[in-house]
Amino acid sequence: MTARLSVTLKINGAERTAAVRPFDTLLTTLREDLALQGSKRGCNQGVCGACTVLIDGRPVRSCLSLTANCVDAEVTTIEGLAPEGRLCAIQKAFVETGAVQCGFCTSGMLLAAHACLQSNAKPTADDVKRALSGNLCRCSGYKKIVDAVLLAAEGGI
Amino acid sequence: MVAALHRPETLAEALGLLANEGARAISGGATLVAMMNASLAEPSVLVSLARISELRGFSRLPDGTARIGAMRLHRETAEESDLRDGQLIVALAARQIANATVRNMGTIGGSISFADPAADYPPALVAAHARVEIAGPAGRREVAAQEFFTGWYETALQSGEIVTAVLIPPAPAGTVAHYEKLARVSGDFAIASVAAVLQISGGRPAHVCLAIGGCGPAPVRVDAAEELLVSEGLTQAAIARAGDLIASHLDPLDDTRASADYRRKVVPRLLAKTLTALSRQPTDMS
């Protein structure tokens, strides 16, 4: 059995310590060691976007990020978007618009959308589509997801 | 061997670690970790290049050459406002890699070291006459991009060597660039792509460099097609003949994205689209 090493990560503003294997991905650490299961394991290949988290405010694939390489970074997971259970504007817009079906892609969509609005407060529909183009949804036609992000950007929530 | 991840802070330290049997360099992880997740790669020792500051920067050398550090993210290269004129081809290619999330992870050094023939940087670097800066146990060396990509997923890198930077030489005044990519869906690897850098003088191409991606083990350049466009100008007839010449030199495969025949048919059309777009671009010299 491979020896584990203790790493301390800054996740959602708090320091969390985990005993990880050298090649564990951030997704594995979040889900299996830290009980943060909002980040989903879809393809585990960096294609689907369900595992998207923010590192230093920018969206990345947690399934392709080695945990031991994240010790200097600020990690934000979906659990960090709604501290104390209060939904953020984008989450409320997803509820309002009906942008959630099975929900598997939703946490990755929300974090990619959050990063999109952080860098561009007034995106066009095309801007939103480009920002979310790395996040796959197999239930919907994406329209309600894009509508939700635009609704949040308009401050309509 | 016990699995280990090293995170050196200097290039010398990294090269020392990479000299060990079974050690592999990891940059952004966008490809290598995906392969590890699929059990296609099982390295015993990984040497992360993430903390080596000299691999991260973008700088301009006194002669106008743009130096892009190997660990520069695709996003950073895509947004690099200092890449202009002919050098812009590298930023144009970076903007078409995968999606915003992957562009926050992947690096130019990692991408070209993996050397997927359908990736965006290889044709762009060839069209830009780029050089690849390499460091290894025997010191530093430079290889022209055209000689760097040697085969299907093969490069000029020797054991223990890594890419440290990509050098983009300055382009003469009046140089314009265009990257045309055909993919099944946004963010996929190319079915085929055309990277074009043209110097336009008095409304005519004085210099043409075209590199085709996704249609062979390495980017394809056809001197005769480039010379034809310089001698005859960007007429419809010359563009069609150049397209046919290039198509006859391609070495594509049938794969999940498209058949080899389809690639041979579509490249002349992509070339025509590219040259039409470029002939409409304003230049200082035209």
- Placement of tokens 């080695």 in the chain: A66
Average pLDDT (B83-108) is 96
Q: At what angle do helices B223-232 and B236-249 cross, to 10 degrees?
A: 170
Tell me the chain A residues in contact with residue B36 when contact means C-beta distances shorter than 8 Å.
23
Q: What is the pLDDT of residue A83?
A: 83
Instruction: Say whether pLDDT at B205 is over 60.
Output: yes
* Encoded tokens for B140: 């530093």
Sequence-ordered strand ranges (E) for A49-121: 52-55, 58-61, 74-76
| Cα separation, B245 vs B234, whole angstroms | 15
Instruction: Say whether pLDDT at A109 is over 50.
Output: yes
Quick check: helix, strand or coil at residue B233? coil
Average pLDDT (B103-119) is 97
Q: At what angle do helices A89-97 and A143-153 cross, to 10 degrees?
A: 140
Among A139-143, B35-39, B236-240, B267-271, the minimum mean pLDDT is found in: A139-143
Which of B3, B33, B50 has the CB atom closest to A64's CB atom?
B33
> Counting Cβ atoms within 10 Å, is residue B249 exposed (0-12), middle (13-18) or buried (19+)?
middle
Q: How far is CA B23 from CA A33, B26, B128, B248, B282, in A?
A: 27, 10, 32, 41, 49
Average pLDDT (B14-37) is 95
Tell me the chain B residues in contact with residue A23 when contact means C-beta distances shorter than 8 Å.
3, 5, 36, 46
The tens digit of pLDDT for each residue in A65-106 reads 999 999 989 999 999 998 888 999 999 999 999 999 999 999
Q: What is the DSSP letter of B147?
A: H
The tens digit of pLDDT for each residue in B131-184 reads 999 999 999 999 999 999 999 999 999 999 999 999 999 999 899 999 999 999
Residue A45 touches chain B, beta carbons under 8 Å: yes
Q: First and final CA of chain A: distance in angstroms?
A: 51
| Cα separation, B9 vs A102, whole angstroms | 44
**pTM score:** 0.95
Q: What is the pLDDT of residue B282?
A: 63
The tens digit of pLDDT for each residue in B67-92 reads 999 999 999 999 999 999 999 999 99
CB contact under 8 A, A61 and B30: yes
Closest to B207 (Cα-Cα) out of B218, B196, B219 = B196
Averaged pLDDT score across all residues of chain B = 95
Q: What is the pLDDT of residue B284?
A: 47
Average pLDDT (B240-267) is 97
Chain A window 84-143: which residues touch B at a Cβ cutoff of 8 Å? Answer: 112, 115-116, 130-131, 133-135
Quick check: helix, strand or coil at residue A71? coil
Q: How confident is the model at residue B2 (pLDDT cuts 50, 70, 90)?
A: low
Tell me the chain A residues in contact with residue B99 when contact means C-beta distances shorter than 8 Å.
49, 133-134
Q: DSSP characters for A123-142?
A: --HHHHHHHTTT---SSS-S
Q: What is the pLDDT of residue B283?
A: 56
CB contact under 8 A, A134 and B7: no
Q: How confident is the model at residue B1 (pLDDT cuts 50, 70, 90)?
A: low
Q: What is the pLDDT of residue B286?
A: 40
Q: What is the pLDDT of residue B285?
A: 45
| Cα separation, A132 vs A113, whole angstroms | 7
* Encoded tokens for B186: 């946004």
Averaged pLDDT score across all residues of chain A = 95
